[in-house]
Amino acid sequence: MVLAAGADIAFAIAVGSALLAIGGAVRLRAMRTTLVVWLVLQGLYLPLQASVMSGMTLGDALPAIPLVITKSHFGLMWTIGTAAGFTALIAAFALRPAAKRSTWTSLLMTGLIVVALAHAASTHAADAGNFSVAELVHLIHLLATAGWAGVVIAAAWPLGRTFTVTPNAVAHITRLSNVATLTFLFAIATGLMNAYRGLGGSLVPLTNSLWGQLLQAKVLIVIVVITIGAINRFAFMKRIRMGDSRALPVFMRLVKVEAVLMLIVLMAAAVLGHSIPAAAG
């Protein structure tokens, strides 16, 4: 679960940095670094999963890795996801800071989408079959959540100076808010669908199952994040546009609080993703 959470966080920052499309060389460095981290964690996850699938110790399961890759659905999705991750990384290294739109940008975004698709196809959502409604909903949820969390985390740390010391700070903050709002709407809508499926269409498992209790904790944190985001968008953004120099530092401090909470949300999501849904229990 630790590796999964780390991979989800790295993927989110890569997606968020790509969606923000600001920051020049700093943005490219953030995407490249997080994609490398994601690929390393993806590689480490394979022998662990082989151990789980074979029922053997980690050392004994190593010879089974080729069999897992070639003979299992997980292995196929792992291979597709890893290939897509490498493709996105190559595109990230090929991009240049001054480039706006290019073939490499399209290749990067396609690679990130396929990574999410392979991830969705390796979760409980795939139990309904390949390209089922549940799997497609989860794919959108993974991308939207990564985008929402990723733009906030990227804005808080790797791209922080872009929002405070550049002459286009107001335009950048507006883009951050707009992208976060759009991805948030998709994340919430698909999250509700996933929760309905995971709970089996009943609210009872919310209190009498571990999965439901974890979901409640995640929802509470998300509500706090939404509240902070709303305060920033409807209060401090207005003051920033009016030229209030005191509003920008407060805005960015709240973004950092959001980012910390988003990290917790991504970790909670990783735990939920590796737990048996209440409906299946």
The structural domain count of the chain equals: 1
Tell me, letter by letter, the H, E, C secondary structure of 124-178: HHHHHCCCCHHHHHHHHHHHHHHHHHHHHHHHHCCCHHHHCCCCCHHHHHHHHHH
Q: List, for residues 131-181, the tens digit of each pLDDT value.
A: 899 999 999 999 999 999 999 999 999 999 999 888 888 999 999 999 999
Q: Are 202 and 221 in contact (CB under 8 A)?
A: no
In a domain, 281, yes or no: no
Give the span between the Cα atoms of 7 and 266, in whole angstroms: 10
Q: What is the pLDDT of residue 230?
A: 97
Q: Please classify residue 70 by burial: count the beta carbons closer than 10 Å to its beta carbon, then call 0-12 exposed, 13-18 middle and 19+ buried.
A: exposed
Q: What is the largest CA-CA distance in the chain?
A: 64
In a domain, 238, yes or no: yes
Confidence of residue 84 (pLDDT cuts 50, 70, 90): very high
In a domain, 141, yes or no: yes
Q: Are 92 and 106 in contact (CB under 8 A)?
A: no
Which is more confidently placed, 102 or 254? 254
In a domain, 11, yes or no: yes
**Which structural domain, as residue segments, surrounds residue 225?**
2-273
Q: List, for residues 252-266, the tens digit of each pLDDT value.
A: 999 999 999 999 999
Tell me the average pLDDT of the chain: 94
Q: Which of 97-101, 265-269, 272-276 is predicted with the least confidence, judged by mean pLDDT?
A: 97-101
In a domain, 279, yes or no: no
Q: Would the CA dihedral through 46, 52, 53, 56 be positive or negative?
A: positive
In a domain, 71, yes or no: yes
Q: Which of 225, 36, 233, 253 is nearest to 145 (CA)?
A: 225
In a domain, 280, yes or no: no
In a domain, 201, yes or no: yes
